[in-house]
Amino acid sequence: MKTLDDLLNEGEGVQGRTVLVRSDLNVPLDDDRNITDDGRIRASVPTIQALSGAGAQVVVTAHLGRPKNGPEDRFSLAPAAQRLGELLGAPVRLVELGKPLPSMAAGDVVMLENIRFDARETAKDDAERAAFADELVSLVGDDAAFVSDGFGVVHRKQASVYDVAQRLDPYAGGLVLSEVEVLRTLVGEPQRPYAVVLGGSKVSDKLAVIEALLPTVDTLLVGGGMCFTFLAAQGHGVGSSLLEADQVETCRTLLESGKIVLPTDVVVADAFAADANTRTVPVTGISDGWLGLDIGPDSVAAFAARIGEAKTVFWNGPMGVFELAPFAEGTRGVAQAIADVTAGGAFSVVGGGDSAAAVRALGIAEDGFSHISTGGGASLEFLEGATLPGVAVLEGDA
């Protein structure tokens, strides 16, 4: 695939040329629409800055949330545009969809309003997506370049990710390129022992990646809400903990690999709340009416020991409800163990999503990991061996 460096070094470069950039600015907001984690915006800066600094007229497209009925104030990209401007040191104007671009000078950056305000962006109908892509191209001109830099959306066949890349000269931004190179290391020949840590709520969300990884990993550590379906498969009662009864038999089969390591103790509570009554119990002692919300200290120590032996670690999904203080220590302990083994020379990848958010929320230094992905879903689908439309189109395979 052609890269950002190729674009910057071709001919006379990008001076005065319009470049359409697909970024991933889907950041979490609080009730007052303040950004609570700007990691994705910060990750988008190097590519945008490189283009702007080289004299391009940069038009950024991105989405926020899942608007259903056209424009909604709560899904406006205004906070992202403001934060991006702060990081770039220059204002980023927000342009309504369907409106012409403002007059732009070399180096200017504008952002289109939430691309998903137009339902054709995510349409399953190829013709609808194509029509929207045509409108985006007409906005920037047929001679514009397209830079795909939103790794968190490359697993989606959407107009601003896939169809536009078939109409404009496409390039991989620095973020997408680095993400793909890192993940190819994991599916190639990773240094061993290779340990994978999976958490999150549901086994069903991770089933495909578990099945894909089990033949290639040395150890698969399972925490989070999904561990209780595995514990049920071992015959343990799980009280009121999250349980996918229809996945119990599948988990029982997966456990036959001998590579899956489960918690031996958990932190349980009588309610899903920060002020609930809590206690730490062995996995054999979860009482009816109590629900597991974190792995316990013995499990953290056992997981850390396994991680400490690894030369390669991939982590996706928290070990508990880290957003609530009583249930954050499992995720903190595992994250710190990964940072420690990285300091000792191991290669570590944090698979985006809640895992990346947890690193920042828990105050663990981001440079303690070899790579923190910006796309949880995209990372998992890559490891599953799925074709990512937004990558395939850059490689000319669409």
> Which tens digits make up the pLDDT trace of 340-384?
999 999 999 998 778 988 998 898 999 999 999 888 888 999 998
CATH of domain 188-384: 3.40.50.1260
Domain spans in the chain, listed from the N-terminal domain onward? 4-177, 188-384
CATH topology of domain 4-177: Rossmann fold (3.40.50)
Fold matches, 4-177 and 188-384: yes
pLDDT tens digits for the chain (398 residues)?
Answer: 999 999 999 877 899 999 999 999 999 999 999 999 898 999 999 999 999 999 999 999 999 999 988 999 999 999 999 999 999 999 999 999 999 999 999 999 999 999 999 999 999 999 999 999 999 999 999 999 999 999 999 999 999 999 999 999 999 999 999 999 999 999 999 999 999 999 988 899 899 999 999 999 999 999 999 999 999 999 999 999 999 999 999 999 999 999 999 999 999 999 999 999 999 999 999 999 999 999 999 999 999 999 999 999 999 999 999 999 999 999 999 999 999 999 999 999 998 778 988 998 898 999 999 999 888 888 999 998 889 999 999 998 76
**352 known member of a binding site:** yes
Residue 353 known to bind ligand: yes
pLDDT of residue 368: 93
Q: Does 116 count as an annotated binding residue?
A: yes
Question: Does 323 show up as a binding residue in the annotation?
Answer: yes
Residue 291 assigned to a binding site: no
**Per the annotation, does 340 bind a ligand?**
no
- HEC letters along the chain: CCEHHHHHHCCCCCCCCEEEEECCCCCCECCCCCECCCHHHHHHHHHHHHHHHCCCEEEEECCCCCCCCCCCHHHCCHHHHHHHHHHHCCCCEEECCCCCCCCCCCCCEEEECCHHHCHHHHCCCHHHHHHHHHHHHHHHCCCCEEEECCHHHCCCCCHHHHHHHHCCEEEECHHHHHHHHHHHHHHCCCCCCEEEEECCCCHHHHHHHHHHHCCCCCEEEECCCCHHHHHHHCCCCCCCCCCCHHHHHHHHHHHCCCCEECCCEEEEECCCCCCCCEEEEECCCCCCCCEEEEECHHHHHHHHHHHHCCCEEEEECCCCCCCCHHHCHHHHHHHHHHHHHHHCCCEEEECCHHHHHHHHHCCCCHHHCCEECCCHHHHHHHHHCCCCHHHHCCCCCC
Encode pLDDT of 234-250 as tens digits: 999 999 999 999 999 99
Give the catalytic positions in this structure: 40, 202, 353, 377
**Residue 101 labeled ligand binder:** no
